[in-house]
Amino acid sequence: MATKTRRMEQRIDEDTDVLLSKAAALTHESVSAFVVRSARDEAARVLARSDLTIMPAAQFDEMLAALDAAPRRIPALADAAAGRRTFKHE
Read out DSSP for 28-71?
A: T--HHHHHHHHHHHHHHHHHHHHT-----HHHHHHHHHHHHHS-
**Taking Cα atoms as reference points, which of 8, 36, 4, 9 lies closest to residue 20?**
36
The model's pTM is: 0.58
Q: Given pLDDT bands bounded at 50, 70 and 90, which one contains residue 61?
A: very high
Whether 22 shows a pLDDT value over 70: the answer reads yes
Whether 19 shows a pLDDT value over 80: the answer reads yes
Domain boundaries, the chain: 14-82
- The pLDDT assigned to 90 comes to 58
Q: Rounded to an integer, what distance in angstroms lies between the CA atom of residue 22 and that of residue 72?
A: 59
